[in-house]
Amino acid sequence: MSTINARIEQELKSIARELLDSKEIEAFIGYKKGSMPMTMTPFVARSIEDVEKLCWNSFCVLNLANYLPQVLRSFEPPRRPNEPPPEGPLPKVGIVVTGCWSRNIVVQIQENQIERDRIVIIGISSRGMIDKKKVYKMLNGHEVTSVEEKDNQLIVKGPDLYEEINRWDVVRDNCKTCVHPDPSIYDVLIGDLKGERQIRNRFSQVEEIEIKTPEERWNWFISEISSCIRCYACRNACPLCYCPTCFVDDSRPQWVGKSKDQVDTALFHILRAYHCAGRCTDCGSCESVCPMGIKMRILTKKLQKDVLELYNFEPGLSLDTPLPLSTYKLDDPQDFILTDIKMGDKK
């Protein structure tokens, strides 16, 4: 009997094939199998033959929206940085999305990084992606040579190893607390929509840190980032990070020191998180790709909580609701502005 993912994969291939065949799109952004168990490689299918490589399972942890702006640009005629795009319709690109990836596409459209009419979106309601680090932890670091995915189970094999793991036990933290598994924007849907998920407390991970004293919190943060090697995988895997030159790379002026100084590493992580405020969809790419297992997602999750509390806003749910930090309203909350409080004191 075929699994849910196998059926999705079948349908995905046939839709992608049709779109490429009819020349509606120039390329399709999806996933192909990686060389290691539980790994996947993002893949740009440019021909009908390529479509056969497309694959779908619970190990697609990197947000594909990340690739969209650059793939779209690759089909535009070359031009200078500030030159406007040429007149007339430009080639389209197809992409497969889950809930959070689709919300990132909404943010990218709102921030004028991509155009809605140049993308064909295939939506899938997410069942949660798997954190392979959790699997390895469960197996005590044992070598794994193959992992077979059933609907609710993983069958893990290796030298002297056969283990059946309950799928939900190893689903990523962000997926477990996800409220919107359905794509918020799509042209074609595979499977059914699931509707909002009821989560008792989706910010429990953040609250564990919030109840600490400022000193304990700082120690947690410093210890968490202490193993950072500054490879910037978290930044590069993030669909929100599209600046032509990142502040950590800038040398004129230089904002951040380049070696492994704790102050610089801390500054990078704090600023990276703040740049995502009101934009982050908690897709968990940053945490999934980190080679050192740093839980930097808790920082952006905290900001997500703040934005929800202050503005009653979650990014990417609708194209019509503007992003709170790039719009201005007279009744915006202002109590966090410190100078205001000081002025009040003087009076």
Partner 1 sequence: MKDFTISKSQFLDFLSEFKKEFDIYGPNETSKGFYDWVAIDQIEQFEIKQGLPKSSIKTFLFPQPEILFEFSANFKDPAAYRLKEPDFKEKKIILFGVRPCDARSISLNSMPYSEDTYFQKRLEQILVFGFLCKSVCSTCFCSWVGGSPVSMDGMDIAVFDLEDAYVLRPITKKGEELLNRAGLDEATDVEKEAFNRLVKENSNKNQSNTADILKSKDLFDLYNASFWQELSDACINCGTCTFLCPTCYCFDIQDEVLKGKGRRIRYWDSCMFPLFTLHASGHNPRGDKLKRVRNRFMHKLKYFPDRFGPISCVGCGRCIRECPVSIDIREVLRQMLET
* Contacts with partner 1, residue ranges (CB under 8 A): 34-36, 39-44, 62, 66-67, 70-71, 137, 141, 143-145, 226-227, 229-233, 235-237, 245, 249, 251, 254, 257-260, 288-289, 291-293
Tokens of 238: 């993030």
**Amino acid identity, residue 285?**
S
**Closest approach of partner 1 to the CB of residue 44, in Å:** 4
Q: Which two tokens stand for residue 319?
A: 């194209």
Based on CB atoms, which residue is closest to partner 1, 59 or 186? 59
CB of 85 to partner 1, least distance (A): 18
User: Nearer Cβ to partner 1, position 35 or 334?
Assistant: 35
Q: What minimum distance in Å lies between the beta carbon of 116 and partner 1? A: 23
Edge-to-edge strand list for the sheet holding 161-166 = 146-149, 153-158, 161-166
d(CA 111, CA 132): 32
CB of 319 to partner 1, least distance (A): 26
Cβ density class 133-160: b for 16+ within 10 Å, e for less: eebbeeeeeeebeebebeeeebebeeee
Q: By C-beta, is 152 or 226 nearer to partner 1? A: 226
> What is the C-alpha to C-alpha distance for residues 14 and 12, in angstroms, rounded to an integer?
6
**Rounded Cα distance, 91 and 247, in Å:** 32
User: Of 232 and 313, which CB lies nearer to partner 1 in the complex structure?
Assistant: 232
Q: How far is the CB of 63 from partner 1 (least distance, A)?
A: 10
Report the residue number, 3 or 236, with the smaller CB distance to partner 1: 236
Strands 188-190 and 119-124: parallel
Q: Which of 189, 178, 266 is nearest to 220 (CA)?
A: 266
Q: 231: Cβ–Cβ under 8 A, 6 or more apart, which residues? A: 291
| Shortest CB 202 distance to partner 1, Å | 25
Give the residue with the Cβ less far from partner 1, 201 or 259.
Answer: 259
| Closer residue to partner 1 in complex, CB, 64/185 | 64
- Alpha helices per DSSP H over the chain: 4-21, 48-51, 68-74, 99-110, 132-138, 173-176, 204-210, 214-225, 233-236, 262-275, 285-289, 297-311, 338-346
Q: How far is the CB of 253 from partner 1 (least distance, A)?
A: 13
CB-nearer residue toward partner 1: 56 or 180: 56
Smallest separation, CB 60 to partner 1 (Å): 11
